Amino acid sequence: MAEKKVKAVILAAGKGTRMKSNTPKVLHEILGKPLLGYVLDNVKNIVNESFVIVGHHAEEVTEFVQKNYPYGKTVLQSPQLGTGHAVSMVCPELETFDGTVIILCGDTPLITETTLTKFLEHHNFLNSDITVMSAIFDNPANYGRIIRETDGSLKCIAEEKDASANEKAVKEVNAGIYCLNWAKVKEIFSHLSNNNAQGEYYLTDIISEGKKLNLKVNAYTLENNDEIYGINSRINLAEAAKMINNRKLKNLMENGVTIVDASSVWISEDTEIGADTVIYPSTYIEGKNKIGSNCKIGPCAHIRGGVEVDDNCKIGNFVEVKKAKIGHNTNVGHLSYVGDSEFGSNINIGAGTITANYNPLTKVKSKTILKDNVKIGSNTVLVAPVNVEEGANIGAGSVITKNIPAWALALTRSPLKIIADWVKNIL
């Protein structure tokens, strides 16, 4: 397969002052995934390399990218002198690159792969050198206006503070995402001026500079304005989370999953769920998971990521599951915790069962393995690392600290004492 001649530049250097947080804005999470992760995931099938421009808390953002995205690189912008300056930081990395560069913002988690693909196709179809993504708003206040030529190409972006009355009446605005024919556009970044009130180098200035060089400049109108919703505050973060969740729930229901109460259920974008599975109210599923068909999840279940649930399983009410693999026809009863575990098929986990997977002294997490046909009685603690072999039964109320052989019964109980008439005698 030929190498994709498309690379992404993602702007993620900002402080995010209005978040009022020690966490960099792009690392704030929605359903277990940072905002920057959404953007990187949505370009990964389009580009072969992504450059993340970092600045504020650069070490933290770099660590996240290096740990989770092998096709991603970070480039430091210090000091931060504007969006145009941010993109110029990647010029040395792309000195010999002859292809398309997509520029995005790291705080727009709702942008989709489908939209970015259409954007790129539009750019290529018009043989454009610079294409700006646009959106149409009934109330375009505070946005830069897209001003088009009579042939439909892009004339300029008029910032509201500089726009004429006629330009302010335009409802098409700059969405802040760009496609660039890099070989023709890269030189512009060395000629940008900071002769403005902020003393910054603006990315939007590449439009006017491109026109001076007789480059082909166009705009692509976005179909769904929600996709460019940017995060600048905790309020924005909450609204974006609702939009992402609603989009996911709708997709699941359209594909055969029953959501009993969509107003109380949260499911991450990276969770796959098979047809005829039922998700009961107040269930929260975050991170990356795979749930099979004909399962019942909840109510009030919490799946925390790294979970695989096979077909015909039940994760009961008030059950928490994390980093676990659960085989088909297995039931995990209510009020249980399953973490760092591997369960086989046809297992029954009684209510109140706990996999004690974490040693707070060594800070080591260990694994619990249950083979097929195991039965665990209620209020059992499985102290990892521990293996329970095929067909074994654990009596209710047991604390299991050793491996249990196949088809055995394991019990840890103090003898039952009955003292006759004890209550009467103390009255």
Per-residue pLDDT of the chain (427 residues; tens, 9 = 90+): 334 599 999 999 988 899 999 999 999 999 999 999 999 999 999 999 999 999 999 999 999 999 999 999 999 999 999 999 999 999 999 999 999 999 999 999 999 999 999 999 999 999 999 999 999 999 988 889 999 999 999 998 988 888 889 999 999 999 999 999 999 999 999 989 888 777 889 999 999 999 999 999 999 999 999 999 999 999 999 999 999 999 999 999 999 999 999 999 999 999 999 999 999 999 999 999 999 999 999 999 999 999 999 999 999 999 999 999 999 999 998 999 999 999 999 999 999 999 999 999 999 999 999 999 999 999 999 999 999 999 999 999 999 999 999 999 999 988 889 999 999 998 8
Specify the CATH number for the domain of residue 343.
2.160.10.10
Domain membership of residue 125 as a residue range: 6-228
Residue 265 tokens read as 């259920």
Note whether 224 and 86 are same-domain residues. Answer: yes
If asked whether residues 62 and 209 sit together in one domain, one would say yes
Does 424 fall in a domain? no
Query: Tokens for 56?
Result: 């504020």
Tokens encoding 80: 């931060």
Rounded Cα distance between 47 and 41, Å, is: 10
Residue 382: φ, ψ to 5°: -105, 105
Q: Does residue 117 sit in the same domain as residue 42? A: yes
The answer to whether 185 and 215 are in contact (CB under 8 A) is yes
Whether residues 46 and 154 share a domain: the answer is yes
| Nearest CA among 204, 117, 191, 106 for reference residue 155 | 204
19 plus 161 within the same structural domain? yes
The reply to whether 151 and 285 lie within a common domain is no
My answer on whether omega of the bond before 385 falls inside 30° of 0, hence cis, is yes
In angstroms, the CA 211 to CA 184 distance is 12
Give the pLDDT of residue 387.
98
User: So what's the pLDDT on residue 395?
Assistant: 97
Same domain, 271 and 374: yes
Indicate whether 267 and 164 sit together in one domain. no
Q: Would 352 be classed as within a structural domain? A: yes
Cα distances (Å, whole numbers) of residue 270 to 9, 320, 378, 392 = 23, 18, 32, 35
In a domain, 25, yes or no: yes
Note whether 311 and 179 are same-domain residues: no
Q: What is the pTM of this model?
A: 0.92
- Which residues belong to the active site? 334
β-pair type (284-285, 302-303): parallel
- Structural domain includes residue 158: yes
What is the 8-class DSSP label of residue 308? Answer: E
Report CA dihedral (377, 380, 384, 385) to the nearest 10 degrees.
-30
Query: Which of 193, 228, 263 delimits the end of a domain?
Result: 228
Give the total number of structural domains in the chain.
2
Which pLDDT score, from 0 to 100, does residue 4 have? 59
Same domain, 177 and 30: yes
On whether both 189 and 298 belong to a single domain, the answer is no
Partners of 178 in beta bridges: 103, 132
Same domain, 86 and 27: yes
- Token digits for 371? 């083979």
Q: Is residue 131 part of a domain?
A: yes
Look at residue 152 and tell me if it is in a domain: yes
Instruction: Report CA dihedral (195, 200, 203, 207) to the nearest 10 degrees.
Output: -10
**For residue 230, how many other CB atoms are within 10 A of its CB?**
16
CATH number of the CATH domain containing 30: 3.90.550.10
> What is the per-residue pLDDT for 197?
75
Q: Where are the alpha helices (DSSP H) in 341-426?
A: 422-426
**Does a structural domain hold residue 11?**
yes
Domain final position from 228, 247, 282:
228
pLDDT of residue 159: 83
Alpha carbons 252 and 276: distance in angstroms, whole number: 10
Residue 214 resides in a domain: yes
62 Cβ contact partners less than 8 Å away, ≥ 6 residues apart: 54, 74
